[in-house]
Amino acid sequence: MSIWRRISDFITSTAIDAFSSIIEAVRTTFEGDPETRRRVAFSIAMIALSAKMAKADGVVSQVEVNAFHEIFHVPQQYQDQVSRLYNLAKQDVAGYEAYATQLASLCGTGKPNCKMLEDVLDGLFHIAKADGALHDKELTFLGTVAEIFQLDEEQFDRILARHAGRGQADPYVVLGLPRDASFEAARKQYRALVRENHPDMLMARGVPEEFIAIANQRIAAINAAWEKVEKDLKAYERV
């Protein structure tokens, strides 16, 4: 059964009065199926937080809507349900901080700093930059969400560098490397990042197939950063 069919059936059977009640219902409805719960939680996190981010920014541009649909190719028969969720989140009086806190608890591992939460933040960055710029209000929103998700400053900076670098991103920041890293340490870090961001790994932690296009962009940024670092370190060793 597709994730959108799961979400549609879930919404249909859930009494909707506030988006926060939907988030809590995900926990109990899919308690015995952690894999489905992770996938549903990821999708609802992206819908809810992108709606709240649009409200925080004050302007919902068509390019941002298009960026959302790049992540989620929702079949026609389920688009009304997704739009219903998006509008409910946007209109709900609850702040995005409350949503982020609830959604973090649905990560699925029971541990802080779940990798899936990095995936959510990555998707939000993709939507935020779609109009060609990361605005101050959007960066404040994204920074606060990262704190609630218990992502540290290095993790946030790594994601920011991939999205805001415009091809000029600092490769050491993208790879999370200190400036004095040895070649072996740098290569080990690079291989670890490629391994943990492989599409199979993302799907295993609950990321829907539609998000894999963003994962491929992430891998491309990691590979490009490694090419620069590898060249830099090899040149240093020859000196």
pLDDT > 70? residue 7:
yes
Nearest residue to 45 (alpha-carbon basis) of 137, 123, 150: 123
Cβ-based burial of 144 (10 A; exposed 0-12, middle 13-18, buried ≥19): middle
- pLDDT recorded at residue 145: 93
Please report, rounded to a whole number, the percentage of residues in the chain having pLDDT higher than 70.
86
Question: Predicted confidence band at 140 (pLDDT cuts at 50, 70, 90)?
Answer: very high
Query: What is the mean predicted confidence (pLDDT) over 58-79?
Result: 74
Position 29: which residue type?
A: T
- pLDDT recorded at residue 37: 79
What SS3 state is found at 2?
coil
Give CA–CA dist 102/107, Å, rounded. Answer: 9
Nearest residue to 4 (alpha-carbon basis) of 47, 63, 54: 47
Question: Predicted confidence band at 127 (pLDDT cuts at 50, 70, 90)?
Answer: confident
Question: Predicted confidence band at 57 (pLDDT cuts at 50, 70, 90)?
Answer: low
pLDDT > 80? residue 208:
no
pLDDT > 70? residue 81:
yes
For 176, the token pair is: 């999370």
pLDDT (tens digit, 9 = 90+) per residue, 147-203? 999 898 988 998 998 887 655 678 999 999 999 999 999 999 999 999 888 888 877
Predicted TM-score (pTM) of this structure:
0.81
For 203, the token pair is: 């799907």
> Do 229 and 182 meet the contact criterion of CB atoms below 8 Å apart?
no
What's the whole-number average pLDDT of the chain?
A: 80
Q: Can you give the residue ranges of every domain in the chain?
A: 3-238
- Helical pair 115-128 and 212-238, crossing angle rounded to 10 deg: 100
- pLDDT recorded at residue 191: 95
Question: Predicted confidence band at 17 (pLDDT cuts at 50, 70, 90)?
Answer: low
pLDDT (tens digit, 9 = 90+) per residue, 85-114? 888 787 776 788 888 888 787 765 445 447
pLDDT (tens digit, 9 = 90+) per residue, 211-231? 777 788 888 889 999 999 999
Give CA–CA dist 17/151, Å, rounded. Answer: 31
- pLDDT recorded at residue 111: 52
pLDDT > 60? residue 239:
no
> Do 39 and 33 meet the contact criterion of CB atoms below 8 Å apart?
no
